[in-house]
Structure formats: C-alpha cells, structure tokens
Copies of this chain bind each other. A is one copy, B any other.
Amino acid sequence: MYDILFKHLEEKVSLTSGEKELVASFFTPKKLKRRQFLVVEGHVCKYLSFVTKGLLKAYNTDEKGNEHINQFTPEGWWTSDMNSFFRGEISFYSINAMEDSEVLVITSEDFENLTLQVPVMDRYFRLLFQNSLITKERRLISSHTHTAEEKYKHMVEKNPDLIRRVPQNLLASYLGLSPETLSRLKKNVM
C-alpha cells in the first residue's frame, strides 16, 4: 500500500530507507466505500490524502444546489481542500469516493513535522505544487479562451483514462459545462 506512495515520491526525490520508514510512520491508511465522504463541505479538512486505489471527486455546491467538480483524484495523486488543510479554515469542498477507494492520510500537524524531520519532503511538495500550478493555470486560461468543444477535445487528449471512468455529467461539471451541452457537442467531435 505504501509502495505506490514511495514510487511516487521517488519520481521526484531520493529517500534513504530510514527516511522512508519515517515518512510511512506519519501516514494512516483509510478505506472508503463508494459514496463515502473524506471531507464534508463546511467542516475543517483534517487530512491531506494520497490515493492508492480508487477514484475520488472534490466538489462544491452552489446556492442553487448545483455541484461543481474541482478535481478528480485517481490512484497516485493527492487530494485535499488545501485552503482548509493548511490554514484551518472551513472546507469549501466536499471530497467523496466515486469508487471503493484506499487512501493514506496525514494531518496538518503531522505534515508540518514530516517536513521538519524529512526536509526533502519540502522539495517533493515544492515540485508537486509547482506542477499542479502549471496545470491549474492552463485550465484557467482555457476556461477564458476556449470554446466548450475545445475544452472537451483537450480533455480527451490529456486525460483519456478519466473520460472512461467518469460519468459524463460530472465531466461536464469539471469542464464548467452543462451536461446537455457536453452531450450535444460530442456528436460534432466524432
């Protein structure tokens, strides 16, 4: 279960076996049944979680009751409401398992201790956040400059895997489109 975490860490940094042990000691495994919540909107997000199996979604609900997907998190990726986790504020997102899933979680105090005791983890997360930032920036620009169809095509190219795993209405939400629009536009694309 920790193997996939280490494999991931070692793509960005090297760890001694002593460090690995220490890292592992900070995380707790957690199983989630489909539809189970890891975080509920309005509560504080206690964990930063590394998904080792399954698929989670992070989303928020607007005044009209519409869900807006912020992120899909398959195995090998991290999820959290970062604002809540790092700043102790109330969570804006809910995080929910779309499939039976397994995660490794760490609390914010432990995260702080982890980075102090294993400084290379600062480097790891620097690199991780750096890459996420590049991706988020692209999504933001795309949301301003691309048409619905271009956004979908881009998604098909970059995340063909997700397209297969995620119901179309949630994909639409992730792209900031209505389900009807996505349904219609697919005909033009193919």
| A interface residues with partner B (beta carbon < 8 Å) | 60, 62, 68, 70, 82-83, 86-87, 92, 115, 119-120, 122-123, 125-126, 129-130, 132-134, 136-141, 143-145, 176
Q: Are B68 and A144 in contact (CB under 8 A)?
A: yes
Q: What 5 pairs between A and B have smallest CB-CB spacing?
A: A129-B129, A144-B176, A126-B126, A122-B123, A136-B136
Q: List 21 A-B contacts (CB under 8 A).
A: A60-B141, A60-B145, A62-B145, A68-B141, A68-B145, A70-B137, A82-B133, A82-B137, A86-B130, A87-B134, A115-B123, A119-B119, A119-B123, A120-B122, A122-B123, A123-B126, A129-B129, A133-B136, A140-B140, A140-B143, A144-B176
Cβ 8 A contact of A133, one of B68, B120, B132, B138 = B132
Interface residue SS majority, chain A = helix
Q: Name the B residues within 8 Å of A60 (CB-CB).
A: 141, 145
Q: Are B141 and A133 in contact (CB under 8 A)?
A: no
Q: Are B145 and A82 in contact (CB under 8 A)?
A: no
Chain B nearest Cβ from A141, distance in angstroms: 6
Given contacts A143-B144, A144-B143, contact A129 B123 (CB under 8 A): no
